Amino acid sequence: MSDGEFSTPVRVYIEDTDAGGIVYYVNYLKFMERARTEMMRSLGFGKNYIFNHDLMFVVTDVAVHYSRPATLDDQLLATARIQRLRGASMVMQQRVLRGAEVLAAGEISIACVDRGGVKPRRLPADMAARLRALQSA
C-alpha cells in the first residue's frame, strides 16, 4: 500500500475475455471487487470478521470509465483507495492498470448493512478507525 492505495495483482484468463479476445467490460468490476476484498482482508476484516459481526457490504452505485482493453494473459493491477468514509458507507476510487497504463477507473459506493434485514448499519468502530487511518495515509 502506498499513499493509501491498496493494490493486488490480477491475471487475465480466457474466461475473462469476450469473443473478440478482450476483457469483457463487467470483469473489470470483478477485478475491482477483488481489490476491495483483499484490502479489507489485509486490514484484518476478512470473511470471519464480517460474519461474526453480522454485517455485509453492498454496492449502491458504480461509475466506470474504460480507457484501454486488456487481453488474454495480461498481468494487471487492481487498486482501491477510500475517497469518502461515512458512518455506514464509503466511496472507493478504483483502477485497473497494465503497468502504468490505466485501463479502467471507477468510483464505487458501498453501504454497510446488517445481514438479517439488509438495513444500513454503522461500520464497527475498529473497522472505521482502520479505514480512516488508511484514508489518511
- Which positions are annotated as active-site residues? 18
Distance CA 18, CA 28 (A): 12
Residue 111 bridge partners (DSSP): 58, 89
Tell me the one-letter amino acid at 5.
E
For residue 63, give the H/E element and its range: strand 55-66
Q: If 0-12 CB within 10 Å is exposed, 13-18 middle and 19+ buried, where does residue 11 land?
A: exposed
Distance CA 85, CA 93 (A): 12
Q: Which three cell numbers stand for residue 11?
A: 491475471
